[in-house]
A and B are shown apart, each in its own frame.
Chain A
């Protein structure tokens, strides 16, 4: 079985999702035997070869930095030319465009948000994914000749598994999107929330936007992204893209620290897949403690700066 991954890059290096995809594909290939190919772009050929360390046999290097429409076309092209049976990509911002487009174009079954490696039963792929906002796990099957597996970001850690790799330039004709980018605003130094490993999040308990300094300090000390509860984004204390929960973003970081958030069911729905949850709340009855791994009952304004201090000490000593 031949597997094709999409290896995303950013400023000339591989994104973590690229290494996750390679690891994922290599593990699958080792159980079913086959080649792992990667489609990539925006990176020097000798850098691109580093995917070999994560088990990629052949790297197809596109010129330029194609948009999702172009990446879909390139993936579809490679699938046919290289006899691909399975496409693997992260279900992130780009993957959310490319995976469903590829599925619809090639009538290939797509299982998105996979949280584990697939199982195989006579050519049928079975994959587990979270559904009902983390309140249940579904096992989904797919038996189309070409299959697409889009895994939940951060559901696997990059692992090395070196193989000999070849980098070839790949230049199928690609369409160009007619969408015109007028402006791109980048918040410098901010960690992107959807794929952050650590997230520091705060709610109405912080009383007002002027108090977010303690949250940002802790986030900075941890190298974390910041998030917030819905009412906080609704009243404009924080930007909309920080809203996590059932009606905002669903995230699954390794560590989620919730400060002054009560833990309403709709909030939990977006964060309950985090590996470790820390809750800081002055109300010992706050429902969030039931979903937490570690809890502190206390006033955020006193506790959080002390935690930041302790983190800084730890970082300085390690």
Chain B
């Protein structure tokens, strides 16, 4: 109870330390193919980017919060290999202060969440921000797993986030509902549309990012709980049926009688 109160009070005058979890994903226009008898994603010729919701929403909002409070820090962490360093540096180009790379190849959501949690437990972050979902494996599992392993609360999705008197005020859009929430720290949030806008690094940021030190963390090994055994491409789409613009009744008839969806 005492620590809780301390955290609450403390957050209003202590600097906020924010950690943003970043994932590496293929560029949105990538052609997706597989190797080794369709058991592995073919990275040949694929351009990698930071996962859009991690970068555009989580990271940018974290930096905006630090800027608006005028204190605190933003750290970014990625589970990945040395080949990911240049991508991770982009976080500094956008405005992050500190970079960590947990030196392992991501295997499944659980092993990534465990390595992140083990790292976070030894640090003193107040707020951990992730993106809502990666655009490669589309799991969206890491945020809740991380919250569970840390014993922290989670808000997901987060479409608006402000710090008011050391408390976090959040808007979470759940279909036709919008919840306005007030949360204590520490907290895990998963960032979604609306939280912030993409930022293009400036010259200064790019220069800083080249000089940035990446702290490499060696994790204790974690066995994954699931494994991908095979990839398939989705079945090809049939031919589109074109309907003359002056026959909307025909479309409605086909949707009712042929497709049976209305």
* B145 & A104 in contact (Cβ 8 Å cutoff): yes
Q: Which B residues are CB-close (under 8 A) to A128?
A: 232
* A93 & B252 in contact (Cβ 8 Å cutoff): no
Determine if A260 is an interface residue (Cβ-Cβ < 8 Å): no
Kindly provide the distance from the CB of A117 to the nearest chain B CB, expressed in whole angstroms: 16
Residue of A187, A197, A233, A310 with most chain B CB atoms under a 10 A cut-off = A310
For the side of the interface on A, what is the size category? 35 or more
Kindly provide the distance from the CB of B208 to the nearest chain A CB, expressed in whole angstroms: 26
Q: Which of B14-35 contact A (CB under 8 A)?
A: 26, 28-29, 32, 34
Kindly provide the distance from the CB of B87 to the nearest chain A CB, expressed in whole angstroms: 18
* A295 & B241 in contact (Cβ 8 Å cutoff): yes
Name the contact of A104 in the complex, choosing from B113, B135, B234 (C-beta under 8 A).
B113
Question: By DSSP majority rule, is chain B's interface helix, strand, loop, or mixed?
Answer: mixed
Kindly provide the distance from the CB of B135 to the nearest chain A CB, expressed in whole angstroms: 5
Q: Which A residues are CB-close (under 8 A) to B253?
A: 314
Q: Which B residues are CB-close (under 8 A) to A233?
A: 193-194
Name the contact of B180 in the complex, choosing from A69, A184, A297 (C-beta under 8 A).
A184
How many of B's residues come within 8 Å of A, CB to CB? 78
Q: Which of B97-113 contact A (CB under 8 A)?
A: 109-110, 113
Determine if A99 is an interface residue (Cβ-Cβ < 8 Å): yes
Determine if B240 is an interface residue (Cβ-Cβ < 8 Å): yes
* B53 & A247 in contact (Cβ 8 Å cutoff): yes
Q: Which A residues are CB-close (under 8 A) to B183?
A: 178-180
* B155 & A179 in contact (Cβ 8 Å cutoff): yes
* A254 & B153 in contact (Cβ 8 Å cutoff): no
Kindly provide the distance from the CB of A285 to the nearest chain B CB, expressed in whole angstroms: 13
* A103 & B255 in contact (Cβ 8 Å cutoff): no
Determine if B85 is an interface residue (Cβ-Cβ < 8 Å): no
Q: Which of A106-149 contact B (CB under 8 A)?
A: 107-113, 126, 128-142, 144
In Å, the complex CA distance between A195 and B176 comes to 11
In Å, the complex CA distance between A278 and B250 comes to 13
In Å, the complex CA distance between A105 and B153 comes to 14
Determine if A191 is an interface residue (Cβ-Cβ < 8 Å): yes
Kindly provide the distance from the CB of B140 to the nearest chain A CB, expressed in whole angstroms: 6
In Å, the complex CA distance between A144 and B234 comes to 28
Residue of A130, A278, A289 with most chain B CB atoms under a 10 A cut-off = A278
Chain A, residues 215-233, CB within 8 Å of chain B (1/0): the string is 0000000100100000001
Name the contact of B231 in the complex, choosing from A131, A278, A302 (C-beta under 8 A).
A131
Nearest CB in chain A to that of B114: its residue: A104
Q: Which of A289-318 contact B (CB under 8 A)?
A: 289-299, 302-303, 306-307, 309-311, 313-314
Q: Which A residues are CB-close (under 8 A) to B36?
A: none
Q: A101 and B173 in contact (CB under 8 A), knowing A138-B228, A198-B262, A276-B261?
A: no
Nearest CB in chain A to that of B139: its residue: A112
Q: Which A residues are CB-close (under 8 A) to B231?
A: 131, 136-139
Q: Which B residues are CB-close (under 8 A) to A275?
A: 259, 261
Determine if A171 is an interface residue (Cβ-Cβ < 8 Å): no
Q: A179 and B181 in contact (CB under 8 A), knowing A104-B110, A276-B259, A294-B240?
A: yes
Chain B, residues 153-167, CB within 8 Å of chain A (1/0): the string is 111100100000000
Nearest CB in chain A to that of B26: its residue: A132
Q: A247 and B240 in contact (CB under 8 A), knowing A101-B144, A311-B252?
A: no
Name the contact of B234 in the complex, choosing from A136, A181, A296 (C-beta under 8 A).
A136
Q: Which A residues are CB-close (under 8 A) to B184?
A: 178
Chain B, residues 39-64, CB within 8 Å of chain A (1/0): the string is 00000000000001100100000000
* B177 & A239 in contact (Cβ 8 Å cutoff): no
Q: Which of A224-277 contact B (CB under 8 A)?
A: 225, 233-234, 239-241, 243, 246-248, 250, 254-255, 265-266, 269, 272, 275-276
Kindly provide the distance from the CB of B245 to the nearest chain A CB, expressed in whole angstroms: 3
Q: Which A residues are CB-close (under 8 A) to B217?
A: none
Chain B, residues 228-262, CB within 8 Å of chain A (1/0): the string is 11111110011011111100110111111001011
Q: Which A residues are CB-close (under 8 A) to B228?
A: 138-141
* A181 & B180 in contact (Cβ 8 Å cutoff): yes
Determine if B149 is an interface residue (Cβ-Cβ < 8 Å): yes
Q: Shortest 8 CB-CB distances between A and B: which pairs?
A: A192-B175, A298-B245, A240-B194, A100-B144, A109-B225, A241-B173, A183-B180, A306-B248
**What are 24 inter-chain pairs, A to B, with CB distance below 8 A?**
A105-B148, A107-B225, A131-B137, A132-B32, A133-B28, A133-B135, A135-B32, A137-B233, A179-B181, A182-B169, A182-B180, A186-B176, A193-B175, A194-B175, A198-B262, A225-B175, A241-B175, A241-B193, A247-B53, A247-B56, A250-B138, A265-B28, A294-B240, A294-B243
